[in-house]
Amino acid sequence: MYDARRDLVWLIFRPWILIPRVIYLILTLTIFILRFSLQANSKDKIIQRELAKYLLTTITNLGPCFIKLGQALSTRPDLVKQEWLDELTKLQDNLPAFDHKLALEIFKSEIGKQVSEVFKYFPPESIASASLGQVYKANLHSEYWVAVKIQRPGLIHIIRRDLVIIRSICFFIGPFLPLNLGFGLSEIIDEFGSNLFKEIDYELEAINAERFASLFKDDRSVTVPKVEKLISSKRIITTSWIEGTKIKDRETLLRNNLDPTSIIRTAVISGIQQLLEFGYFHADPHPGNLFALKGKVGNKGNLGYVDFGMMDSISDEDRITLTGAIVHLINKDYLLLAKDFQKLGFLSANERLERIAPILREVLGGVIDKDVHSLNLKTITDKFSDLMYDYPFRVPARFALIIRAVVSQEGLALKLDSKFKILRFAYPYVAKRLLTEENEELIEILMDIIFDDKNCIRIDRLEGLLEVISESSSIPGEELLPVASNGLKLLISEKGSEIRRKLLLSLIKNDEFNASDIKKLLLLFSRKFSPIDISNKLLQKIKPIIA
């Protein structure tokens, strides 16, 4: 378990460990910074390749804490040069392996048996090696193959030592760095350290994997390996083997007859589900932890998740507020967006939102007005980086892993499609949930969208929701018809009473029918749910059966 104060005392009383490591870090990082300052902007491809190799070697030699940072950078093609990305990608599962005999000894001490007593076949070397352990592809029985992950030796000692040193350095240099995060660097290190110690507990990872699998048990587009509990422990975890293609780049998927767009769709939608629906998410979705599998489910590819060491939860309140923030951002409701930021802790409770709303409009309005579907996370974070220097915005510490997960998700998608825009896939999912789920908080967000202050229907907003849902499907009406059915159920349900009330208030003004709104509403439904759309959908469904 991570404890910053305890570990600091532990290291201070061991100067023979502390002093050599500090000297090594200072010298290594100084040489690293000097070389990069001189060569990073060079246009010579040979120099850039050599620099990339040096970057990989340096990060690898610095150990697990620094490798984790490198892994995060390896998913950002928009921030890191391609030559460097090619090398940084090796940090995901292509690091130097530790001694095989030592791995067998760790297995024996943890499980109580030799590998020959447990497996029909156990390979003489690992198939992949990452920052915290290495993986073997072994045959348990018949044709059942498993992944056996064995933790690196001395990991707890190494991580404790480096976290103390990194935290101490950040404590002293933090005030001099051009950062305005709203909280100290020490808090970031503590959050990182706490999650890193959870990640090296393989018993906890096994529990995480089973919980994650239960969330997607009815989703055929997401595959989660089965944990073999009898061959797992604190430092060993054994799961069923997932046979797939690593999501390294677009070309690799195409060579294996896999559709990159369908894989992106599954990755993004499953990621959004984890954050906004389940409240439990995979916080380390880098390419080494995701596999593209054969087959498709509708317009979604088949995606396999592995490595459940770094997981996190988000509260129900934050989930609902984030959902509202996405909708309010797209609909340019800047006062409600400011209120969302206040609920999430990005603004203090005492902040006057009337002052903040015009600022949000000025900073984000230009981007939203161009094309909502062109908006990506980097655009938003860049804008907010500017905001945080001049206005009272802060980033709550609890959002550290959420931001990491979403940024990694977008970075992964950008590797498969350089023109990828996250809201193109995320917003249809959010819109569908708003129109179909009997959740009181979501219903409240829905009413904010489609009714104004005078209880008049915002036809354009309702049409916008239906439009983004229909755009997410290649078959006309495929997504809209189920939404219509579920939306009708919501409307006549007990929880839909407030929607019915506001709808009646909108359609009846001064004891008379509001003919204008009724006409607009009927025209909208006739356009979106026309017999032609229904026929097209039925034909698309029937064709495979006839053929």
Report, as residue numbers or ranges, the catalytic residues: 284
Q: Taking each helix axis from N to C terminus, what angle separates 400-416 and 185-199, rounded to the nearest 10 degrees?
A: 70
* Residues whose CB is less than 8 angstroms from the CB of residue 394 and which lie 6 or more positions away in sequence, other chains included: 181, 182, 183, 345, 346, 347, 348, 388
Residue corresponding to tokens 């998740």: 305
HEC assignment per residue over 116-148:
HHHCCECCCCCCEECCCEEEEEEEEECCEEEEE
The answer to whether the CB of 297 falls within 8 A of the CB of 217 is no
Nearest to 381 by CA among 36, 163, 79, 66: 79
Pairing of strands 245-246, 290-297: antiparallel
Nearest to 229 by CA among 358, 96, 140: 140
C-alpha to C-alpha distance for 530 and 521, rounded to whole angstroms = 14
Q: What is the DSSP letter of 281?
A: E
Q: Is 353 in a helix, a strand, or coil?
A: helix
- State the first-to-last Cα distance of the chain, in angstroms, to the nearest integer: 60
* Residues whose CB is less than 8 angstroms from the CB of residue 432 and which lie 6 or more positions away in sequence, other chains included: 469, 479, 483
Is the Cα dihedral 188, 311, 230, 135 positive or negative?
negative
Token pair belonging to 121: 């076949």
